[in-house]
Structure 1
């Protein structure tokens, strides 16, 4: 972890300060809009459940745990198996052993690796659903791409799935994105569930599990895809992080 402390983090902070001084990125015009009004139930059981079971990560690398536990609790609640007592994040880490998830959440990580790359997130989500006996129709891990040809199909399908989440209420989306693309923070891999989508304006609501983000926030669809398709920083590739993307669960 000394590499992150002494090399990666200082570089990320210098990138952050450059954007701040140059008024680029989220310090310019393209940034998230915070939703400070209280959430009101919509009748969409999955969407309402995500807001009800939303939790914040317990340390800087545990965004995957907070995101998955909110999804698992939402689905257990929907299927009538929650019994009034939501699972906590430690419950998940003790029960789901895929990819050395618990070890990755420790201070030193698993073989020096903390957090979950996109494909590993997909594996952990799938195992979590199986461990807790949650039935679902399909699960897909989708890697985003900046390639103009490849991205066209990925974006069209993503938009259709966002509309499906909002209007049909039969699916969930966990996003894996560059947090610095949305809010004034470091450009690091981050994970949070999608909490809403407006088909008319194209705005996506993120239920960010970062404790520093006190409210949900909205970003345009194009900015949302930009965050998903981030190549992250080349420094992160040695830790298994390529492009971001999302995990799609149809129930």
Structure 2
């Protein structure tokens, strides 16, 4: 525990220095072409499609490490609405009590589970699948796609673009992104999780329904920025805590 605390203090110091560097040099999330915040509108949550349903069920995380809980409960409630499942809206506390995969609830506590808090991408994928099963929600499969900056980059980019289009136009999947939050907005470069709320192929902008309570509004980012954010390896500083790089978890519905 003390070793993890020591590592965490070193990581936080490094991240603060990196954030200050980006602020001084106007690089990273301070560079031009970053997030465009969306003005709230009742129209965003109206309609039968999955993007509108995501806006209806979007919630904020209840503490600093619970972005996975807010993201998963959002998509669970969207699909419960889609399939007309009986019962009230599922809360973040309720889903933690029901889905015990990977010590999810313990990972949300101050000390984490064996010193680890939050969910790396592979663990998030398992939690998403088990949450759907726990609430008897029909789905075809849950797919994990890890971001890549090497020779696989072109293929992975096209794969994710295809899923974004299926989500937006065919209501056939939902996407949860696992990304470097500081690549999108003026925050520290830390692993973060939020649902994808839309995609516009004419502009290439991806909508992020950020569950961070400090982000009052959702925002849109260029696809190139989105892809970079889900692919960066966090400079390797989070590997001791189980994090390599981000990606997406795709819930295929048909």
Match of 1:130 in 2: 133
Q: Deviations over 1:63-118 (max 9, x none)?
A: 000000000000011100143x2111010100001000000000000000000000
Tell me which of 228, 232, 239 is aligned to 1:237: 239
Tell me which of 173, 176, 197 is aligned to 1:174: 176
1:45/1:78 contact within 8 Å kept: no
Match of 2:101 in 1: 98
Match of 1:69 in 2: 73
TM-score where L is the length of structure 2: 0.95
* Alpha-carbon distance in structure 2 between the residues aligned to 1:146 and 1:30: 20
Structure 2 counterpart SS, 1:153: helix
Are 1:35 and 2:38 counterparts? Answer: yes
Deviation at residue 45 of structure 1 after TM alignment: 2.6
Match of 1:46 in 2: 50
Match of 1:17 in 2: 20
Give the paired residue count. Answer: 249
Matches within 5 A, 1:126-205: 126-147=129-150, 149-205=151-207
Deviation at residue 44 of structure 1 after TM alignment: 4.4
1:73/1:82 contact within 8 Å kept: no
* Alpha-carbon distance in structure 1 between the residues aligned to 2:7 and 2:41: 38
* Alpha-carbon distance in structure 2 between the residues aligned to 1:37 and 1:211: 15
* Alpha-carbon distance in structure 2 between the residues aligned to 1:170 and 1:39: 24
Match of 2:212 in 1: 210
* Alpha-carbon distance in structure 2 between the residues aligned to 1:135 and 1:6: 43
2:46/2:53 contact within 8 Å kept: no
Structure 2 unpaired stretches of 5+: none
* Alpha-carbon distance in structure 2 between the residues aligned to 1:124 and 1:171: 17
1:141/1:246 contact within 8 Å kept: yes
* Alpha-carbon distance in structure 1 between the residues aligned to 2:209 and 2:49: 16
Match of 2:120 in 1: 117
* Alpha-carbon distance in structure 1 between the residues aligned to 2:81 and 2:7: 39
